[in-house]
Amino acid sequence: MPRTVPGWFPPLALFTRAFGQIIIISYVPLSLARSGSHFYLGFGLIYALPFVMQLIFAPLWGHLLDRSGNVGLVAAIGFAGYALMELGTALAPGIGVILLALAMGGALGAALSPSAKGYALGMPDGQGRLSRALQGEAGGWLAGAIIPAVTDYLGMNLFGLLALVGSATFILAGMSLAGSRPLGPSSRPAAVAQSAVRGLRRDAWLSLLGVLLQFLTGELFFSFYGVYLTTFLGGPLWLYSLTLAGTTAIGLWLYTPALRLTRALGPELVLLGTSAWYLVSYLALYLAPSVPLAAVVFTVPAFSFLRIAASLAFTAAAPDRGGAAMGAFDATEGLACSLGGPISGAFIGALGLVALPLMPLAVAVLAPWPLVMARRRLQATGVASD
C-alpha cells in the first residue's frame, strides 16, 4: 500500500469485512440449524463473538492507528484476522472450533474497520468519504446476502465458499502488509494520546447511550431473524435471502440521503427518528406476528440513518482523532451486537421463538429517553449540534 493510501481503500476494506462477516453470522447458524442442531445459545455466540472482539480490541487498534499513522499495517492485521475467522470456520465446521476461530480472528479483525473509517475521516470531505465507505460496507452485506444463496442453488457447500473468501482475504492482508508505511508525523492527528471519550459533554454521553440501546434493539431481533422467519413463522429460505439482500440494497442507496438529512437536522433528531421506527415496528410484530410483517420490519433499513447519525455524533465528540473515534464507535456497536445474540438465544431457549419480538420491544421503549434528554440539554445550553 503506497504512502498515500488510495481513496478506494476504505470502501474496499469495509466491503471485505462485511462480506465475510455476514456469511458467518447469518448463514453459518442457519446452516447448522437446518442440519438438525438446536443449540440456540451456541448460534447466538457465533453471532456475538466477532462483536465481542470488536468491543474489546477496536478502540486499541484505533488508538494505535492514530499514534503510528501506518494505515497499511493496521489494515493488514485486520485482513489477516478476517481470513483466520473465515478459514477456521470453513475447515472445521463444528461449533467449538468455529467459536475458537472467531475469537482469535476477531481480535485481529477488529483492526480493519477503525483503519478504514479513520482514514476516510482524515481525507478531504471526510464525512462524505465516510458515507461512501459505509456504502462499501453495505455493498459487502448485499453480496454476502446473495452469493451464499446462489452458490447453494448451484450445489456449492457454504463452508467451501467461506474457504474461497478466506483465501482472498488473506491475499489482501499480504498486499496491505507489503506496502505498509507510516503516513508521517505531519499527517497524524493532534493529541493522539487522548482517549476518544475523554472530556465528553454530558449530552454526548446521553447520545452514546441512546445509540447503544438502538444498536441493541436491532441486534436482539436480527440475530435470530432467519431462524424466526423460517422455523417459527414457516417462511421460505428464499424470502430470508431476499429480505437480507433487500435491506442492504435499499440501505446502500439511502446512505447519501441519510448524510444530507443528518447534516440538515443534526444527529440527535435523526437518532430520535430511528428510535421511533424501532419502537413502532417491534410493537406491531409482537401484536400481529406474520411472515410479511417480519419481512417488512427486517427490510426497512433504518440502520443507514442510525449509522450515519451515530458516526457524526462520535466524530463530533472526538474531533481530530478519527481512528480513536471510530474505534469507540465500533466498540459501542460491538457491545450491542455481543449482547444481542446471547440474550435472544437464552430468552428463546426459555420461552420459545414466539417471544423473539419482546426483547427488542422492551429495549426500544427505553432507547428514546437518553436521546430526548441529550437534545433538551443541547437546547438549554445553546450548544450547536454538529
**Each residue's pLDDT tens digit, 21-60:** 888 887 887 777 776 666 777 777 887 788 788 888 887 8
Q: At 275, which amino acid appears? A: S
In angstroms, rounded to a whole number, what is the distance separating the alpha carbons of residues 301 and 323? 26
CB neighbours of 304 closer than 8 A, spacing ≥ 6?
Answer: 134, 138, 251, 254, 255, 258
The tens digit of pLDDT for each residue in 179-223 reads 555 544 434 433 333 444 444 455 567 777 878 888 888 888 887
Q: Where exactly are the structural domains of the chain? A: 9-381
- Of residues 367, 363, 210, 354, the one with CA closest to residue 294: 354
Residue 344 pLDDT more than 80? yes
How far is CA 252 from its chain centroid? 14
In angstroms, rounded to a whole number, what is the distance separating the alpha carbons of residues 9 and 23? 22
In angstroms, rounded to a whole number, what is the distance separating the alpha carbons of residues 151 and 143? 12
Write down the pTM of the prediction. 0.67
The tens digit of pLDDT for each residue in 76-130 reads 888 999 999 999 888 877 788 888 889 899 899 888 888 888 777 777 777 788 7
The CATH fold assigned to 9-381 is: Growth Hormone; Chain: A; (1.20.1250)
Residue 262 pLDDT more than 80? yes
pLDDT of residue 190: 38
Collapsing DSSP states into helix, strand and coil, what is residue 82? Answer: helix
What is the average per-residue pLDDT within 254-263?
Answer: 87
More confident residue, 89 or 331: 89
Residue with cell 503516513: 183
More confident residue, 243 or 127: 243
What's the distance, Cα to Cα, between the start and end of the chain in Å?
33
pLDDT of residue 244: 76
What is the average per-residue pLDDT within 158-171?
Answer: 87
- Of residues 29, 22, 119, 177, the one with CA closest to residue 322: 119
pLDDT of residue 193: 36
Residue 321 pLDDT more than 70? no
What is the average per-residue pLDDT within 337-352?
Answer: 80
CB neighbours of 328 closer than 8 A, spacing ≥ 6?
Answer: 58, 59, 62, 196, 197, 314, 318
pLDDT of residue 269: 83
- Of residues 308, 316, 126, the one with CA closest to residue 203: 316
pLDDT of residue 142: 79
Residue 270 pLDDT more than 70? yes
